[in-house]
Amino acid sequence: MDGIQYIVTEKGDKTAVLIDLKKYKTVWEDFYDVLLAKTREREPRENLHVVKERLIRQRKLCELL
């Protein structure tokens, strides 16, 4: 595949990949976003309404009419 190079062991097992970011930037960004989301999937979550209320109280967010 043009723009993709594999790093292989002496046995021929693929261990890494080099990606031409000029050619595959958007694909890499999508791949990275998925990896990042996977690492955060066990983090505690907060309700959007609760976060907005806290930011308004801290005067970090203006309440809209």
Helix (H) or strand (E) holding 27: helix 21-40
Q: Give the pLDDT score at 65.
A: 46
Q: Give the pLDDT score at 64.
A: 67
Helix (H, G, I), strand (E, B) or coil at 4: strand
What does the alpha-carbon distance between residue 7 and residue 28 come to, in Å, rounded to a whole number? 17
Q: pLDDT tens track of the chain, all 65 residues? A: 899 999 999 999 999 999 999 999 999 999 999 999 999 999 999 999 999 999 999 999 987 64
Residues in the chain: 65
